[in-house]
Structure 1
Amino acid sequence: MSAPYSSYLHEYMAKCRSGEILVGQELLQMFDILDENLRDPNIRFEPADANKRIKFIEEKCRHFEAPYAGKPFKLELFQKAFITALHAFKIFDDEIDKWVRLYQDVLFVVGRKNGKTPLIGAMNLAEFFCGPEGIKILCSSNDYEQAALMFDAINAMREESPSLDKVTRKNLTGIYFGNPKRRKKKGKFSYRNKGHIKKISAKTGAKEGRNIAVGAADEVHEMKDNSGVMPIRQSLSTQDEPLYYELTTEGFTNDGYLDERMKEARQVLKRELHRPRWLVWLYTQDSEQEIWQDERTWVKSNPGLGTIKKWSFLRNMLEEAKTNKATRIFVLAKDFNVKQNNAAAWLMAEDIVNANDQRFNLDDLRGRVAVGGVDLSKSGDLACARALFYKDGKKYTISQYFIPESKLSQLSKEDLEKYKAWIKEGRITVSDGNENDFRLVTAWFVKLVKEFGIRFLKIGYDKWSAIYWVKEMEEVGFDMVRVEQNWGPMSEPMKLVEADLKSNLLYYNNDSLDKFCLENTAITVNSKMEQMPIKVQGKDEKKIDGAVTNIICYRVYIDNRSDFLRLCA
């Protein structure tokens, strides 16, 4: 640390408060709490344990990924300050009659690609060596693959260091002390030490997480509730100085586990909730507006910007986010920790309406090749069938909707008037009773073939479609392909539908029912930046079937593009 500061934490807090380092208000609120700790006569500030771990990381740990592979793990000031805040504050525990670490729980929120997982991995490895003999450490996440990222980071750092590798070993179950070639060696770093580092999915925490000293849960934003982490937290109860980390970015799960934790964390920072043993370390923006107005503020949620994370990368992502809704949602949540509604509207009003309103009819498409898409969803609800054509570099689509008669009585007065008009126009076919008669769907496709000479290459259907109806379609002569309404199958075609609508390359006669479905469609994005259509929040009674069939048709088109375009030529 540089003079005249007594610790890395003091230096970091001073530079942040002076404006030399830019951070958000929520981290400054945590600094105020730490200042109170420094003045509290019942709390000691002893940075020796923190400095020991910092020294271990910088001298023993090495990076394992490009472009820093093999190089020493040199910590940034913000990382050293965080480690100091965690390990330097001590309180006296009357139950065990000794001074112990004040902070037992940690919430560390930072934008992606700021070295979060390698940092906590290095801290866990430091704890393995610098902590008490027999220490057991658990790397956890919402799924086993994510948990493996931290564990693999720890193991890679261990393997990169000859001195660490010399006194440890790894097998299928975890990392242990002791060198197989030196089995008789005694001491803390020998087989005598029964400590270990393991990885588990948080979903299996109740089975594995027993009697551990350190638990680290990565990417908790994906968890819907606390059922995955509570067994891990409870397994720390026997320890004198337990340590539980939660490290994450913001996510897209509404009313999930992280939402509740962030709510409580902010209550702690505002002194509305007393959790003296919880270190809340949040790298967050003060507003969404500042992200678009001043790129200098980006460091508030990205403290590693310019050293760990590249400015050019973030600038490119923000530029793409200006025109792509899915990218915007993903970047704001993952790069800037701005919580995103997982049901944000998919398309702007100007995107939905064809600007030049190019009208067409079935006679214009007579004798052409098409791909089809069907969303039957529930037999007692609105259903949609669609045909997609390609002509002169543009796509044209026609659709037909189906509804059981009994469903009409359940509509609101406003929607009922709309549906009556659509039925009168022939846009919706009504089935008697409580269920859609799927034979009417088959009849619509057959009509296109017989009356307009349209040939269908393939017709996509969702997994909920009735098996007997699919068989009926195949017996008539249609080639049916299943399109599952899930992240992988729906993401690419959804992006292409959006792009074609914005570019006026997809025409649907500005049909009011198709438009109704597009307006009701929201977009949800996962951690892999894949997207899927869902209903706009608060509009469960609205329908999106027409939008879904567009996406299904595009899935069939993408999977059969070469054959389709050849036949359309």
Structure 2
Amino acid sequence: MARKTTRSPEVQLPPQEELKRLKLSPEVAHYLITRGIPLPTCPPLFKTPEPGELLATARFDGERVDKVIAAFRRLRHTQGQWAGRPLNPDPWQVAYILAPVFGWVKRNRARRWVRVVRVLYVEVPRKNGKTTTCGGIAIYLTAADGEQGAQVVAAATTADQANFVFAPIKQIAERSPALKPYVKALAKKIIHKATGSYFAVVSSAADAQHGANIHGAVVDELHLHKSPELVEAIETGTGSREQPLVAKITTADDGKPNTIYARTRKRIEELARRVIKHPATYGVVFAAAESEEHLRELGLDPFGTEAMRRANPGFGISPTQEYLETKASEARQDPAALATYLRLHLGIRTKQVTKYIALSDWDTSAGLVDEAALAGRRAHGGLDLSNVEDITALCWVFPEAGGDSYQVVWRFWLPEDQLKVLNKRTAGSAEVWAREGWLKLTPGNVIDNDAIVKQIDEDAQKFRVVTVGYDRWGATDVVRRLGDGGLTCVPISQGIASMNEPLKSTLRLVKGGRLLHGGNPVMRWMVDNLAVVSDSSGNVKPDKANSGDKIDGVSALMNALKEAMAVQEAEKAPPATAPAPPPGDDRNLWRPSERLTI
């Protein structure tokens, strides 16, 4: 598609291959070169098409970008080593945010030139100037965009976050000499006197809808919004403006599905891959890789400089290399800090708040488990019965003779009517699991306890079952029937005191390659979902509330392993010494080993 442009033919652009690698449009590259701005060296992982690629009527207006940058430079930093210096955008901010958003224009129905982009999405790791970018855009839309009576808002989820968002922008307005004469900063609002425009923070959908005629909005840390109502109210409140802009700027989330962040991120990826087209939406995602697996496929060390550079466009300035190396060192030594490091500093979405078992370690520990060869072996069971509409898990742990190692086998059940729901949550994997036999479906929309009891009875005929550990919640009927059948069922508390030892032992065993699990794909998904919670003493337990999705198989493993370890400890204890018999007691004479020969 031919694009109308104001590019000068005498300006030498980089080769097309280089522009493609840097994910720069010819128009933006031309703008950077003619303004003496260095080309960036850190392209985003995802970048949606610029309007000029999708819209034949779009034009790139470099003077509009000049105006935005000039406005930024009249503002002043308020914190740290840059306090008092101009808010001069970095080359990557111009190339990937300001120029594509403010430069592309089209004629509206009134024949006026207006911005094409109405929704901006920027995902970037911490310490890359995200707050500064938010502040500059908010103030520009309020005081320099030429809009009369502009209502510009920032979305916050709580009163505390509202202050966190508003305070830095208020400081910029108060401490920038070129801006201060034109604005009035109040406790909760910044007013541009010449146009009657204002900037304020809203923390509820009702606030956003009240008298809504929104020209601009900044949604800082989109992943913190548990509900979409506030953001949706802001977006619907822009309908009567000619060129509104809603900027969503965030770090990566912890992998929870079906959130407004998850839906938005998915849409940006689909736009970047050209699966769908929408010229009014533009976004970039900076990250070292799409996932931990992708990071390994790229051959990148998560703690190395190359991964840091790929994720952080401001690398070396903000954040500094020393800062990131410190965070990497902490994550290398503490598994509980790894997920935070990957998410906040490498931009990688994790499946849990606190990553405890690395998938690479789990995969390495898989080994080969031959269930037929386990027949007759001593086994300890662990049962986790979920609610009637979800997954139930059974785990058998087989201690290896004379060593601190185990083989493990799982059974998983799901009501058949719930397969579509789980399939959606697992990106189509659940159907494969069911087809291959890893996940057993029971008829209807509730779990079938008969199927569970029948399978355990069959396993008890095959294995030498010693005990079955279970969580008291929801296990009454199944456990009663198992007990009636002769199995020893042991209730196990799911509290931190009870779960700490088996969970820490699981991590140790996995890292040492002494928990052979055969690579069960359902369990692998659950391990990737696992989050843990810890107390002040460093004790840990699985955290179902903050896990990315289901972890029933992990809970079943904890119950089984706790039983196995308890029995092994009892076997290691020295036998109790019997008290000496009282005088005249001849019981010892009749023990087989001590009988007298007469």
TM-score, normalised via structure 1 length? 0.61
| 1:151 partner amino acid | F
Residues 211-239 of structure 1: CA deviation (Å, up to 9, x unaligned): 11101112222345533311110000111
2:301 corresponding residue in structure 1: 292
Residues 42-83 of structure 1: CA deviation (Å, up to 9, x unaligned): 222222222122112112x22222232233222211122321
Match of 1:229 among 217, 231, 249: 231
On the 8 A contact 1:146/1:218 being kept in 2, the answer is no
| Structure 1 CA distance for aligned equivalents of residues 227 and 541 of structure 2 | 22
Residues 159-204 of structure 1: CA deviation (Å, up to 9, x unaligned): 21244334433334322235xxxxxxxxx1xxxx432111122555
| Structure 2 CA distance for aligned equivalents of residues 208 and 295 of structure 1 | 48
Name the CA shift for 1:525/1:139 in 2 (closer, same or farther; >3 Å).
farther
Match of 1:101 among 103, 108, 115: 115
Calculate percent identity across the aligned residue pairs: 17
| Structure 1 CA distance for aligned equivalents of residues 246 and 532 of structure 2 | 29
| 1:257 partner amino acid | I
2:219 corresponding residue in structure 1: 217
| 1:152 partner amino acid | A
Name the CA shift for 1:503/1:67 in 2 (closer, same or farther; >3 Å).
farther
On the 8 A contact 2:154/2:201 being kept in 1, the answer is yes
On the 8 A contact 1:9/1:80 being kept in 2, the answer is no
| Structure 2 CA distance for aligned equivalents of residues 86 and 104 of structure 1 | 8
On the 8 A contact 2:128/2:312 being kept in 1, the answer is yes
| Structure 2 CA distance for aligned equivalents of residues 429 and 86 of structure 1 | 56
On the 8 A contact 1:115/1:308 being kept in 2, the answer is yes
After TM superposition, list the pairs within 5 Å mapping 1:31-46 onto structure 2. Answer: 33=50, 36=53, 42-46=57-61
1:138 corresponding residue in structure 2: 153
Task: Flag structure 2 segments of 5+ consecutive residues without an equivalent.
Answer: 1-9, 14-26, 366-383, 393-446, 481-491, 510-514, 518-522, 534-539, 563-598
| Structure 2 CA distance for aligned equivalents of residues 531 and 309 of structure 1 | 33
Name the CA shift for 1:538/1:153 in 2 (closer, same or farther; >3 Å).
closer
Aligned residue for 2:324, secondary structure, equals helix
2:337 corresponding residue in structure 1: 327
Name the CA shift for 1:349/1:44 in 2 (closer, same or farther; >3 Å).
closer
| Structure 1 CA distance for aligned equivalents of residues 130 and 548 of structure 2 | 32
Residues 513-556 of structure 1: CA deviation (Å, up to 9, x unaligned): xxxxx997753389xxx9962298786654628859999xxxxx
**Is 1:524 the counterpart of 2:531 in the alignment?**
yes
1:72 corresponding residue in structure 2: 86
On the 8 A contact 1:326/1:523 being kept in 2, the answer is no
Residues 230-271 of structure 1: CA deviation (Å, up to 9, x unaligned): 111000011111111111122122232222222222222233
Residues paired across the two proteins, number: 439
| 1:221 partner amino acid | H
**Is 1:278 the counterpart of 2:281 in the alignment?**
yes
| Structure 2 CA distance for aligned equivalents of residues 177 and 201 of structure 1 | 22
Moved more, 302-311 or 143-152: 143-152
Match of 1:268 among 261, 268, 271: 271
| Structure 2 CA distance for aligned equivalents of residues 430 and 22 of structure 1 | 50
| 1:280 partner amino acid | G
On the 8 A contact 1:523/1:531 being kept in 2, the answer is no
**Is 1:157 the counterpart of 2:198 in the alignment?**
no
On the 8 A contact 2:51/2:117 being kept in 1, the answer is no
| Structure 2 CA distance for aligned equivalents of residues 351 and 87 of structure 1 | 49
| Structure 2 CA distance for aligned equivalents of residues 45 and 430 of structure 1 | 63
**Is 1:116 the counterpart of 2:130 in the alignment?**
yes
After TM superposition, list the pairs within 5 Å mapping 1:471-482 onto structure 2. Answer: none
2:452 corresponding residue in structure 1: 411
Look at both structures and tell me which one has the larger radius of gyration over its CA atoms. 2
| Structure 2 CA distance for aligned equivalents of residues 423 and 496 of structure 1 | 24
| Structure 1 CA distance for aligned equivalents of residues 126 and 469 of structure 2 | 47
| Structure 1 CA distance for aligned equivalents of residues 244 and 324 of structure 2 | 37
1:53 corresponding residue in structure 2: 68
| Structure 2 CA distance for aligned equivalents of residues 126 and 493 of structure 1 | 56
1:544 corresponding residue in structure 2: 555
After TM superposition, list the pairs within 5 Å mapping 1:287-366 onto structure 2. Answer: 287-289=294-296, 290=298, 291-292=300-301, 295-342=305-352, 346=357
Task: Flag structure 1 segments of 5+ consecutive residues without an equivalent.
Answer: 179-187, 353-374, 383-405, 438-459, 463-482, 484-489, 505-509, 513-517, 552-569
| Structure 1 CA distance for aligned equivalents of residues 224 and 77 of structure 2 | 27
| Structure 2 CA distance for aligned equivalents of residues 547 and 200 of structure 1 | 44
Moved more, 343-352 or 225-234: 343-352
On the 8 A contact 2:143/2:197 being kept in 1, the answer is no
| 2:163 partner amino acid | A
Aligned residue for 1:73, secondary structure, equals coil
Name the CA shift for 1:537/1:43 in 2 (closer, same or farther; >3 Å).
closer
| Structure 2 CA distance for aligned equivalents of residues 144 and 205 of structure 1 | 12
Aligned residue for 2:347, secondary structure, equals coil
Residues 123-145 of structure 1: CA deviation (Å, up to 9, x unaligned): 21122221223111110134443
Name the CA shift for 1:319/1:264 in 2 (closer, same or farther; >3 Å).
same
On the 8 A contact 2:76/2:175 being kept in 1, the answer is yes
1:336 CA drift (Å): 2.4
| Structure 2 CA distance for aligned equivalents of residues 428 and 161 of structure 1 | 65
1:417 CA drift (Å): 5.8
| 2:339 partner amino acid | I
1:113 CA drift (Å): 1.3
1:292 CA drift (Å): 1.4
| Structure 1 CA distance for aligned equivalents of residues 137 and 118 of structure 2 | 14
Name the CA shift for 1:494/1:134 in 2 (closer, same or farther; >3 Å).
farther
On the 8 A contact 1:173/1:198 being kept in 2, the answer is yes
1:197 corresponding residue in structure 2: 199
| Structure 1 CA distance for aligned equivalents of residues 281 and 98 of structure 2 | 14
Aligned residue for 1:90, secondary structure, equals strand
Name the CA shift for 1:433/1:175 in 2 (closer, same or farther; >3 Å).
closer
| Structure 2 CA distance for aligned equivalents of residues 537 and 57 of structure 1 | 39
On the 8 A contact 1:102/1:277 being kept in 2, the answer is yes
Aligned residue for 2:179, secondary structure, equals helix
| 2:555 partner amino acid | I
| 1:333 partner amino acid | R
1:126 corresponding residue in structure 2: 140
| Structure 2 CA distance for aligned equivalents of residues 430 and 77 of structure 1 | 56
Aligned residue for 1:213, secondary structure, equals strand
TM-score, normalised via structure 2 length? 0.58
Match of 2:257 among 248, 254, 258: 254
